[in-house]
Amino acid sequence: QVQLVESGGGLVRPGGSLRLSCAASGGTLTWHTLAWFRQAPGKERAFVAAISWNGHTVEYTDPVKGRFTISRNNIKNTIDLQMNSLSPEDTALYYCAARKGLPARLEYEYNYWGQGTQVAVSE
């Protein structure tokens, strides 16, 4: 059973940066896509970014393109999300997720989830 644990959330001012990390344990992630989703207050959980097993396929939701970068380390079984130029609209609980196969954007397509790490962007 794969377990995912996120870290790196916090409070940051608009225009600032944060780097989220997710550590996976308890199972092999071979052929697994790793992804980030987020849930803003009062909204449904939404796709942010995903990266395939070999890193060759990367997808981002439009609002974060050019600002966020997803990366993974298959030796350490970790993924990171570098977030730059943050705005209050990025405030959300950020979740790490995993699925076997190519990147997908729908929540139900992911089998494993972390507990989330909170990101707040405010003056």
Flag whether pLDDT at 54 surpasses 80: yes
pLDDT computed for residue 40 by the predictor: 97
Residue 118 bridge partners (DSSP): 93
pLDDT computed for residue 120 by the predictor: 98
Decide if 47 contacts 37 (C-beta within 8 A).
Answer: yes
Mean pLDDT of 78-104: 97
pLDDT computed for residue 28 by the predictor: 76
pLDDT computed for residue 8 by the predictor: 97
Cα(116)–Cα(93) distance, rounded to whole angstroms?
6
Work out the pLDDT band at 17, boundaries 50, 70, 90. very high
pLDDT computed for residue 13 by the predictor: 98
76 vs 29: which has the higher pLDDT: 76
Decide if 30 contacts 77 (C-beta within 8 A).
Answer: no
1 vs 14: which has the higher pLDDT: 14
Cα(72)–Cα(76) distance, rounded to whole angstroms?
9
Work out the pLDDT band at 94, boundaries 50, 70, 90. very high
Order of strands across the sheet that contains 3-7: 3-7, 18-25, 78-83, 68-73
pLDDT computed for residue 29 by the predictor: 81
